[in-house]
Structure 1
Amino acid sequence: MYTQEEYENNPLHGTSLEQLLTEMVEHYGWEILAAYLNLNCFKNNPSIKASVKFLKKTEWAQHKVESFYLYQYKNLPRADDAMYELPPRDRIVPLHQKPGDPKELSLEDAERLRLKKAKASRERDSRGKQRADGKSPYRQQREKPSGRRSKEDSPADFNPYANFKSKE
């Protein structure tokens, strides 16, 4: 299916997390990385050693940084859907795709991207949280757990501590 050569065409092949982070910090600096990746290890007292330690423990963050390395720093075309589902180190890079020069990034572009993502997230949330009748699911009355009585059922018999009485 895929050859060893196609696996080795991935710029992450044979590159340690420390190497790629060092390359990106030298080129972009911590401020740009923090703005684009939104990771606290890049924002608060950043260092290569501490960031590598965090990224090795946190798989999602490592994948985020490695994807940034591939598609921003190495400027590769976006992977197809099937490849994008794989972790960045397992992705196949076709032999005709060669890494390019790092993309030019700015704090202004990072802010525009952040606002665009926030807007898309709000729209996605508002579409997903509507019921068929158009009301928000957060306003739905919660169902009573089965077998329990509420004050409305029989106010005279209601004892909220009934289940907690000690058996003497």
Structure 2
Amino acid sequence: MNDEVNYKNNPLHGLSLKNLLIELVDYYGFEILFAYLNINCFKTNPSIESSVKFLKKTDWAREKVESFYLYQFKNLPNASSEQFSVPPRDRIVPEGHTPGEPAELSFEDAERLREKQAKKAAAYRSSSASGKKYGGQRSGGYASSRGGERSHPKPASSPNSNDGGRVDPWANSRK
């Protein structure tokens, strides 16, 4: 099977970020985009140019917008678990999946989605604050006795190095 053909099946293939935003804004508007994506460039003085500039600099926001484009605007089935970890532009869309009509979105649905995400985040924070996952510290690493300074874990030395037990801060990048 030729991967190049599968990449061409991805609606993002050959589509610039500016044209993607123009399509989304023409169909949904900046208000709906902010309500669903919660990215400030769609709320504060929104424009195509400023949004493109921000999204080009910010990988997480660009991937969020591209995922929204694929799964809400193009109405493709959700990505498989292996494809979910790949950025949207690099995902392989199976041959049988063709883009559909854009999803009808509303502010009420966006509010329900935010409430659901807030409950999920609160449950995650409460489970991590209990100490089971992070050895008694909260996930932010701010549980220091030094007045709010952030504590950093000490990096492990590389198991293959003959450095006499010294700590190698670049050990994880060499793997």
TM-score range, shorter chain: 0.7 to 0.9
RMSD: 1.8
Structure 2 counterpart SS, 1:34: helix
Identity of aligned residues (%): 58
Aligned counterpart, 1:158: none
Paired residues for 1:8-23 under 5 Å: 8-23=8-23
Q: Which has the higher contact order (CA 8 A, sep 6+)?
A: 1
Q: TM-score, normalised by structure 2?
A: 0.75
Which amino acid in structure 2 is aligned with residue 62 of structure 1? R
**Count of paired positions:** 139
- More helix per residue: 1 or 2? 1
TM-score by length of 1: 0.78
Shift of 1:142: 4.6
Whichever of the two has the greater Rg, that structure is: 1
| CA spacing shift, 1:50–1:123, aligned 2, 3 Å | same
Cα distance in structure 2, aligned partners of 1:25 and 1:137: 43
Question: Structure 1 stretches of 5 or more lacking a match?
Answer: 144-168
Q: Structure 2 unaligned runs (5+)?
A: 147-175
**1:87 corresponds to:** 87
1:126–1:98 Cα change, 3 Å:
same
Output the amino acid matched with 2:31: E
Cα deviation 1:100-132 (Å, max 9, x = unaligned): 000000001000000000001001111121136
Would you identify which runs of 4 or more consecutive aligned residues in structure 1 move more than 4 Å? 140-143
Name the SS of the counterpart of 1:103 in structure 2: coil
Q: CA deviation at 1:137?
A: 4.6
